[in-house]
Amino acid sequence: MKAFPYHKNKQQAFQAAQQGIEEAKGIYENIVKDDPDYGVHLKRLKNEVNEAYEQINNALEVASDKQKEQLQQYQDDLQSIINDVNE
């Protein structure tokens, strides 16, 4: 593992995870199952969810305890989106 300027990268990693979850939620909230473009939106949502998971996992490596709690909540939020879409 590389040596990072610790605090700055911890915050950046957390913010990237935060942005990733917000983007995934934004797509999810605007997805309509009977939309003719549903498949396109679903694929985009899956990409965003995967990216958000990756950002969360990266952030978890350097996160403070408080950040870890929030990041785990983000993971739960993503799992809820996946569960709902897969119904």
Give the pLDDT of residue 10: 87
Q: b/e for 3-14, b at 16 or more Cβ within 10 A?
A: eeeeeebbeebb
Residue 77: count other Cβ atoms within 10 Å of its Cβ.
17
What percentage of the chain carries pLDDT values higher than 90? Answer: 78
pLDDT digits (tens, 9 = 90+) for 10-34: 899 999 999 999 999 999 999 988 8
What's this model's pTM, rounded to 2 decimal places?
A: 0.84
Other C-beta atoms within 10 Å of 21: how many? 24
Looking at per-residue pLDDT, the higher value among 79 and 86 belongs to 79
